[in-house]
């Protein structure tokens, strides 16, 4: 990867347009989780220390090119100022006179948040005129929003083609971690892919079995693979129409010497509810009214042994319905085992995707993994081997 970092930039007095991800959880106009605000702090701090004027660009929700007051970024200003430890100014537009006046008022080290870029249809269309209007307020461009790097938008790709472009600190960490996990990993590499649907991760599975040494499939999608092998899955969620596709993936794994791990035993219950009576069953020994809701102890033990014999782990998706006890046990045990190996210096573990991050947080080990990506779609597309437009634009 040949992107430029902030260490290579002349920042003094420069207007730095910084694409950040502030699409944060909100409730009644208040930020309920400031993780993404905190993720932007290292980049903002570095730019301020170098004497730049920091101008933040972000989107919130999906206003679809129209001004939607409930999707304004203004409620983020106060919590952002608290995270940064300095007051952030706000402009009621991201282009035009209001943006220009706010930018002109900045002194080196000041921070300004511009209004939601998606209030303009030109953002998602990567419209040249809109990109020109954004670029007019900057001397250099910093992309710190890996989570939006799979979008060909004006604030991710258009700006990188108009101004000297650099990767922000969060973007740099993300790209270095992903390169270490999938680009140039230390082998053997083990992948864990969970979640409910095979249909949403077909490209991912087909790519991983051609690049990884071992792949464990868990969650609801494992039910489809078990069904494809002729096992009864009872009342479990299962995409039966994808049975042949699952068999194709199993064959593809064999052709590429990728060892596939499917459940050996499972945890079942008649209903999905906290504290519901749960039983461990061998694969295929499921009653008609039972649902598979977690990986069984033998399956988890084998997965932990596979981690012991691996150098790199890439994880996307839980092994069961981790939000509800007792169906969280498989995911929790596997996550904690991976964390112990990382702390012992025996494993590089990179994880990503919304459910995965939530599961690792629930297990209390997100901080122990080598890297945890908060990006959803971008992380998945990277794992699928796709070129991300926002990253490619930095490489130009």
Catalytic residues: 36, 197, 354, 377
Q: How far is CA 171 from CA 41, 123, 142, 177, 212, in A?
A: 12, 20, 9, 10, 24
Which DSSP state fits 5?
B
CA distance 43 to 56: 11
The total of other beta-carbon atoms located within 10 Å of residue 186's CB is 12
Phi-psi region of 34 (alpha: psi -120 to 50; beta: other; left: phi over 0): alpha
**Left (φ > 0), alpha (ψ -120 to 50) or beta: where does 117 sit?**
alpha
Closest residue by Cα to residue 260 from 274, 269, 249: 249
State how far the Cα of 93 lies from the Cα of 59, in Å rounded to an integer: 12
Strand order in the sheet with 111-114: 88-91, 111-114, 53-57, 15-19, 140-143, 165-167
The answer, yes or no, to whether the previous bond of 308 is cis (omega within 30 of 0) is: no
Residue 299 tokens, joined: 């399956």
Per the structure block, which two tokens stand in for 392? 């490619």
Enumerate residues 6+ apart whose C-beta is below 8 A from 260. Answer: 209, 214, 215, 216, 217, 250, 253, 254
Helix, strand, coil shares, percent, the chain, to 5? 45, 15, 40
189 phi and psi angles, rounded to 5 deg? -110, 130
Given a contact cutoff of 8 angstroms between Cβ atoms, the answer to whether 239 and 199 are in contact is yes
Q: Residue 315 belongs to what H/E stretch? A: strand 312-316
């Amino acid at each position: 990867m040949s992107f430029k970092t902030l260490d290579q930039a002349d920042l003094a007095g420069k207007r730095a347009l910084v694409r950040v991800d502030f699409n944060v959880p909100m409730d009644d106009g208040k930020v309920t989780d400031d993780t993404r605000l905190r993720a932007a702090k290292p980049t903002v701090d570095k730019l301020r220390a170098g004497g730049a004027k920091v101008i933040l660009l972000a989107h919130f929700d999906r206003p679809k090119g129209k001004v939607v007051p409930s999707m304004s970024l203004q409620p983020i200003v106060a919590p952002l100022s608290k995270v940064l430890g300095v007051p952030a100014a706000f402009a009621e537009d991201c282009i035009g006179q209001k943006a220009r006046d706010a930018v002109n008022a900045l002194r080196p080290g000041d921070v300004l948040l511009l209004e939601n870029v998606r209030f303009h249809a030109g953002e998602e269309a990567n419209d040249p005129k809109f990109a020109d209007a954004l670029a007019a307020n900057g001397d250099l461009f910093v992309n710190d929003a890996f989570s939006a790097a799979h979008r060909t938008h004006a604030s991710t790709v258009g700006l990188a083609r108009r101004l000297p472009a650099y990767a922000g600190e969060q973007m740099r960490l993300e790209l270095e971690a992903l390169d270490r996990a999938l680009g140039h990993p230390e082998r053997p590499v083990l992948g864990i892919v969970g979640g409910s649907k095979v249909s949403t991760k077909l490209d991912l599975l087909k790519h991983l079995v051609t690049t990884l040494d071992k792949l464990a499939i868990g969650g609801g999608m494992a039910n489809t693979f078990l069904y494809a092998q002729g096992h009864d899955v009872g009342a479990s969620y299962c995409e039966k129409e994808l049975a042949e596709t699952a068999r194709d993936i199993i064959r593809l794994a064999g052709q590429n010497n990728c060892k596939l791990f499917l459940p050996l035993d499972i945890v079942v219950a008649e209903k999905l509810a906290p504290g519901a009576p749960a039983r461990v069953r061998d694969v295929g020994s499921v009653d008609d009214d039972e649902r598979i809701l977690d990986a069984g102890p033998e399956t988890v033990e084998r997965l932990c042994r596979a981690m012991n014999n691996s150098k790199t782990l890439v994880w996307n998706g839980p092994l069961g319905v981790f939000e509800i006890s007792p169906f969280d046990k498989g995911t929790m045990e596997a996550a904690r085992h991976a964390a112990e190996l990382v702390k012992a210096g025996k494993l590089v573990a990179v994880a990503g995707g919304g459910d995965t991050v939530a599961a690792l947080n629930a297990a209390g080990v997100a901080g122990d993994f080598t890297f945890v990506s908060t990006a959803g779609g971008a992380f998945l597309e990277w794992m699928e081997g796709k070129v991300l437009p926002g990253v490619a634009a930095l490489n130009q």
